[in-house]
Amino acid sequence: MMLIPCPFCGHRNESEFAYGGPVKPDRPDPHAASDEDWVDWLTTVPNPLGPVEERWWHVKGCGTWLTIWRDTRTHCVVEGSGDAG
């Protein structure tokens, strides 16, 4: 059970949140993107052995969708992609 930093509430237990998955690039323009790019955006997410940027929804708290960097090896919440926590 992690402690997740919510920008409004501060650190809260993971069980108050719903996992929102890794942050993808911005949604491509559906009229401009090729089929391949569209499918790639839909199905392929960053899966790093290290810090990953991801979203959580503070559904049982203030309702904020927040973004954190978390190291997938340690589960430490870190500053950014370069911080191996």
Partner 1 sequence: MSYNASFERLPISACFDLKGAENALVEWIGAEILPGFPTEANRRRSADGLSLDHVGPRHWLLHADIDREDELNAALRPHLAPAEVSIVRISDTMTTFRVAGADVAHVLAIGCPLDLHETAFPEDAVTFTEFFGQKALVRRCAGGFDVSVEQSYGDMMEDCLTRALR
Partner 2 sequence: MRDRRLASGGRIDRSRPLAFRFNGKGYRGFSGDTLASALLASNVRLTARSFKYHRPRGIVGSGPEEPATLVELEGCHASANRAATTVRLEDGMAARSVNCWPSPGLDLGAVSQLFAGLIPAGFYYKTFKWPGWRLYEPAIRRAAGLAGAPDAPPPDAPPPDGHFEAVHAHADVLVVGAGPAGLMAALVAGRAGRRVFLADERTEAGGSLLDRRMEIAGRPALEWVAESVAELTSMPNVTHLQDACVWAYREHNFLMVNERSPANPSMLERNWRVRAGKVILATGAIERGLVFPDNDRPGVMLASAAQAYVNRFAVKPGERAVVFANNDSAYAAAADLLASGVDVAAIVDSRDPVPDSARDLAGGIPVKGGSVVIGVRGRRSVKGAAVSKRDGQGASTIDCDLLLHSGGWSPAVHLFSQSRGSLRYDESLATFVPDEAAQACVSVGGASGELSLASALRTGAEAAAMITGTEMPDLPTTTGESYAITPLWRVDAPGAKGRAFLDIQNDVTVDDVHLALREGYENVEHVKRYTTGGMGLDQGKTGNINIIGTIALQKGVPLQDVGTTTFRPPYSPVSFGAIGGIREESVVLPYRHTPVTQWNLDRGAFMYEAGARWRRPGYFLRGDETFQETVNRECRAVRECVGVYDGSPLGKFELKGRDAGRFLDHVYTNLMSTLKPGQCRYGLMLTEDGLILDDGVAMRLGEHRWLVSTSTAHADAVHGHMEELLQTQFPDWSVHVTTVTSQWNNATVCGPRAREVMAALGTDIDLSPEELPFMRFADGHVAGLPARVVRVSFTGELSFEINVAPRHMRDLWEWIMEAGAPSGIEPVGSEASHVLRVEKGFLSLGHEVDGTVDAHDLGMSWIMSKRKADYVGKRSVELRRRGKAVRRELVGLLPADPNDQIPEGAPLTPGGEKRPSEGLVTACVWSVVLDRWVALALLENGKSRHGETVHVRLKNATVAATVGEPVFHDPDGLRMRS
Partner 3 sequence: MQNYSIVSLLRHAINGHATWAPAWRSPPLRESYDVVVIGAGGHGLATAYYLAKEFGITDVAVLERGWLGGGNVARNTVTVRSNYMRDASIPFYVKSVALYEGLSDELNFNLMHSKRTMIDVVQTFPKMRELRRRQLTMDIYGSTYERISTEEVRRRIPALTGGGPGARLPVIGGMVHTDAGVNRHDAVAWAYARGADARGVELHQQTPVTKLLRGGDGAVKGVETPRGIVRARKVAVAVSGHTTTLTETVGLRLPLRTMNLTAFVSEPVKPLVDVVVNCPDSGFYFSQSDKGEMVIGGAPDMGQSFRRDVKQHVFEDTVTAMLSLFPSFKKLKLLRQWGGHVDITPDASPIMDETDVPGLFVTAGWWGGYKAIPAGGLTLAHLIAKGEPHPLMAPFTLNRFRHLDYVMESGTTTAR
Under the rule (CB under 8 A), what is the footprint of partner 2?
Answer: 1-3, 13, 18, 20, 27, 30-31, 33, 35, 38-39, 42-43, 55, 57, 59, 63-65, 67, 74-75
Is position 32 an interface residue for partner 3 (rule: CB under 8 A)?
Answer: no
Local structure of 40: helix, strand or coil: helix
Is position 59 an interface residue for partner 3 (rule: CB under 8 A)?
Answer: no
Question: In 1-85, where do the E strands start and end?
Answer: 3-6, 10-13, 18-22, 51-57, 65-71, 77-78
Is position 84 an interface residue for partner 3 (rule: CB under 8 A)?
Answer: no
